[in-house]
Amino acid sequence: MTVLKFEDQRLPDLDDYAKLAEQFIPGRRAIFAIVEAALLELLAEGPAKILVVGAGGGEEILRLGQNNPQWSFVGVDTYQPMVELARRRLAETPLGARSRVETTAIDALDDTGFDAATCILTAHFVPDDGAKLAFLTAIHERMKPGAPLAIVDGVGVGGEDKTELLRRIWKRHAVCNGVAPEVAESNAENFKKVAVVSEEREEALLASAGFERLTPIFRGLAIKGWLAFA
């Protein structure tokens, strides 16, 4: 089955991505606040090198890096316009000096030994035909043993009543947050087409990729977040 890529969604204007994401994603700010708290709790004091997979737009580097000058970031993303948006936003802040965002797939990143990694709203664009497992494995291979990954993804099984109900509430939530109804509708439709898998399947894939001690840290409608340890 062909799955929808991030760049195939009809987003009104990429420069508005940060604002739109905040309107659409339930608990968007809470996701970053929780991931920041988790990394502060888990990482030793002092410098840490953090891998950001799906770093396009720059949001997590901005959010995680703002109050943590001891952290540096390497971001990867496969979509050049989102990489450019991240670079532009980061260059306007002191974070520009301690972050790098590359247009590349994770398996081509020539850098390892990361103290932590994030993968926020990205793995659900990778098809579950072997590519999703290879993607998670490539993240694992670049992390230090025991290092934490914070992964946040859409979850659900297309066609199930529960998934459909969450999709309808998702659309309503976006409209309540000021999104035009037709934009909310097309975004909710997209959710049916991306490579979202069930929670159980995502957990099994993370385990197969070598991650251990999966710990749920977030749930907002059909978006779920875990900590997983390399």
Interface residues with ligand SAM (CB under 6 A) are 6, 21, 53-54, 56-57, 59-60, 76-79, 82, 105-106, 120-122, 125-126, 135
What are the structure tokens assigned to 64, written together? 């995680």
Q: Closest distance between ligand SAM and the C-beta of residue 229, in Å?
A: 20
Q: Closest distance between ligand SAM and the C-beta of residue 32, in Å?
A: 8
Q: Closest distance between ligand SAM and the C-beta of residue 17, in Å?
A: 7
Measured CA to CA, the distance from residue 129 to residue 79 in angstroms comes to: 21
Q: Closest distance between ligand SAM and the C-beta of residue 16, in Å?
A: 12
Buried/exposed code over 196-228 (b: 16+ C-beta within 10 A; e: otherwise): bbebeebbebbeebbbeebeebbebbbbbbbbb
Residue matched to tokens 């959710």? 191
| CB nearer to ligand SAM: pick between 153 and 203 | 153
Q: Closest distance between ligand SAM and the C-beta of residue 117, in Å?
A: 12
- DSSP SS3 for 99: strand
| CB nearer to ligand SAM: pick between 48 and 120 | 120
| CB nearer to ligand SAM: pick between 135 and 211 | 135
| CB nearer to ligand SAM: pick between 57 and 115 | 57
Q: Which residue is nearest to ligand SAM (CB)?
A: 56
| CB nearer to ligand SAM: pick between 166 and 195 | 195
Cβ burial of 3 (10 Å; 0-12, 13-18, 19+) is middle
Per the CB < 8 A criterion, the answer to whether 225 and 150 are in contact is yes
DSSP bridge partners of 13: none
